[in-house]
Amino acid sequence: MAPVRIGQKKITTERQFCPRFKRFDDVDETFDLLLRTWSIVVRVEVKFPVEPRYRDKQHFILVDTDGSKVEAIAYNNDVRRFDNLLHQGFNYTIHRVIFGINWGEVAFRNIAHRIELTLTSNTTVEPYTMPLCFPRCPRHLMPFHEVFQQPNRRLVDVMGIILCVEPVELIGRRRYRGPVIRCKVESYCCWNLR
């Protein structure tokens, strides 16, 4: 039997970082918020000034490829870094961000989304050079029969009279409310709203 050396160093390979991309609308509030890190492709829509009186805090509003907006916050020592890295109107791939629930009242938020992002010292930012494709929005009010012919998740503008609104109900861990709307040509429509 060969002699065993006790003081021998172990040689291991570094763990490879495999980005897991997430869209803002696909965040599950019960599963994805357990301090997991995600990667996102976003455009910086608004960059707020640094708030020095709150121990250095800076807010950003980010827009993903679906057009959903989420507020991102950098704290303390990371404020200067992200203030220099992120510029308003530019597209970025941001790795190792943490999703969290915004417990503040809607009146005190910059946007009314329930989810917020935390930019930490482990977060990495890369410029995104491909064009960021946002969903196309029609520039006119559409009649109801044309709305149903549009692709899924397309933003549309409609005008009508709300006849009744159902109470909020939970379906598949998401809140839905179904209003019945009537347009000017006497057609009725029932939608599920989140």
Phi, psi angles (nearest 5°) of residue 148: -70, -15
Q: Do 47 and 122 lie in a common domain?
A: yes
Q: Encoding tokens for residue 92?
A: 């970025």
pLDDT at 155: 63
Residues 110 and 162 in one domain: no
Closest CA to 166 of 176, 155, 151, 153: 176
| Residue 71 tokens, joined | 């507020």
Span 13-27, pLDDT tens digits: 555 556 678 777 777
Are residue 117 and residue 159 in the same domain, yes or no?
no
Torsion-angle region of residue 96: left (phi > 0), alpha (psi -120 to 50) or beta? Answer: left
Do residue 164 and residue 74 come from a single domain? no
12 in any annotated domain? no
Contact 83, 76 (CB under 8 A): no
Residue 24 CA to residue 190 CA, distance in Å, equals 26
Does residue 137 sit within a domain? Answer: no
Band of residue 186 on the pLDDT scale cut at 50, 70, 90: low
Separation of alpha carbons 58 and 113, rounded Å: 17
Residue 82: exposed, middle, or buried by beta-carbon count in 10 A (0-12, 13-18, 19+)?
A: buried
| Residue range(s) defining the domain that contains residue 183 | 144-190
Instruction: Work out how many domains the chain is built from and give that number.
Output: 2
Closest to 110 (Cα-Cα) out of 54, 72, 64, 77: 72
Q: How confident is the model at residue 101 (pLDDT cuts 50, 70, 90)?
A: confident
Give me the chain's average pLDDT, please.
75
Reported pTM:
0.60
Query: Do 121 and 28 belong together in one domain?
Result: yes
pLDDT digits over 51-97, tens only? Answer: 877 678 899 989 888 777 888 999 888 898 999 999 998 899 999 99
- Tell me whether residue 133 is in a domain: no
Pairing of strands 37-47, 57-63: antiparallel
Which is nearest to 111 in space by CA: 45, 12, 31?
A: 45
Tens of pLDDT, residues 32-55:
565 678 888 998 988 988 887 767
Give pLDDT tens digits for 117-162: 889 999 999 998 876 665 556 666 677 777 767 666 566 666 677 7
